Amino acid sequence: MTSGRRIGILGGTFDPIHTGHIDLAAAAAARLRLTRVLVVPSNIPPHRPQPLASSFHRFAMVAMAVAGRDGWLGADLELLVDGPSFTTDTIRHFHEQGCSPKELFFIIGADAFAEIPTWRDYPNIVERANFAVVSRPGHPVYALPAVLPDLEPRMHRISADQPIDRMSDAASGRLPDSAPVIFLIDAPTAAVSATAIRRLRSEGATIAGMVDPRVQQHIEQHGLYTSRARGRRADAFVDIPAAGRLHGQS
């Protein structure tokens, strides 16, 4: 792989964005020497419960979390499209903007990547971008070849002392140099989840250290994740009515 444009794409509900998400992207950016990292909040996630915070709040929190990080940007392209957000459609958008599959690196945790056979457009989707898969607590990347044996030929482990610029071929020579690769990155990431953050907020407990301080301030200022919805399961919470609005939007 030669040097040049390398665009990282981190997708998710980000309800809210937390330190685990940032660790994922930072590990991929460092190990793969990404030239840009785009953080893309989903509109309607097809495989998960619907987000509790509005799209306006979620995008605002993403913008705060990436502020000051060189080359990192929040992107609202999925929020501008009605209906479910599918990764294959997002990758297609970048192709239409002139990006080749080899220039794109979809960043994802090992736990979520293990479910890729359930994704729309699988297995073709692994032909349309590189995947940067990072370990998550309890989900090491080295377990993925056994979990996804059909994808094992595409997998290539990246160590901290292996500059990607020195890779002369893809996946240790098992693939054509033009083929996208599944990069396995074993790096520490915070044991944080959005579910835990929402639960702590509902209990009136602190979430300090789990999110960027600016994100924490935003959550507290707007009272996000503090009201328990009637008639819903015990672990499901919604915003107080006023928290559904931001900058005059409902």
Q: What is the pLDDT of residues 124-174, one digit of tens each?
A: 999 999 999 999 999 999 999 999 999 999 999 987 666 565 444 455 555
- Cα 212 from Cα 23, distance rounded (Å): 12
16 & 136 share domain:
yes
Q: Which of 5-14, 37-46, 65-74 has the lowest mean pLDDT?
A: 37-46
Quick check: helix, strand or coil at residue 157? strand
pLDDT given at position 150: 96
56 & 151 share domain:
yes
Q: Would 2 be classed as within a structural domain? A: no
List the CATH number of the domain containing 27.
3.40.50.620
Identity at 167, one-letter amino acid code = M
The pLDDT tens digits for 41-53 are: 998 877 667 899 9
Give residue 229's domain range: 194-244
24-33 b/e (C-beta count within 10 Å ≥ 16 → b): bbbbbbebbe
Q: Would 212 be classed as within a structural domain? A: yes
66 & 181 share domain:
yes
Contact 108, 131 (CB under 8 A): yes
> Which of 136, 168, 185 is where one domain is finished?
185
> Which of 185, 202, 236 is where one domain is finished?
185
162 & 74 share domain:
yes
19 & 85 share domain:
yes
Strands 104-109 and 36-41 come out as: unpaired
Q: How many helices (H) and strands (E) does the chain have?
A: 7, 9
Contact 160, 31 (CB under 8 A): yes
pLDDT at 243 over 80: no
- Cα 109 from Cα 137, distance rounded (Å): 10
pLDDT at 29 over 50: yes
Q: Which of 60-74, 87-101, 175-189 has the lowest mean pLDDT?
A: 175-189
* Single pTM value for the model: 0.85
> Which of 139, 160, 185 is where one domain is finished?
185
Confidence of residue 235 (pLDDT cuts 50, 70, 90): very low
Q: What are phi and psi of 230, to 5 degrees?
A: -70, 140
18 & 130 share domain:
yes
100 & 128 share domain:
yes
54 & 173 share domain:
yes
Q: For the chain, what is the domain count?
A: 2
- Cα 131 from Cα 84, distance rounded (Å): 21
231 & 159 share domain:
no
120 & 30 share domain:
yes
What CA dihedral angle connects 82, 86, 92 and 96, to 10 degrees?
Answer: 20
Mean pLDDT of 219-237: 62
175 & 222 share domain:
no
Q: Would 56 be classed as within a structural domain? A: yes
pLDDT given at position 120: 93
- Cα 171 from Cα 160, distance rounded (Å): 17
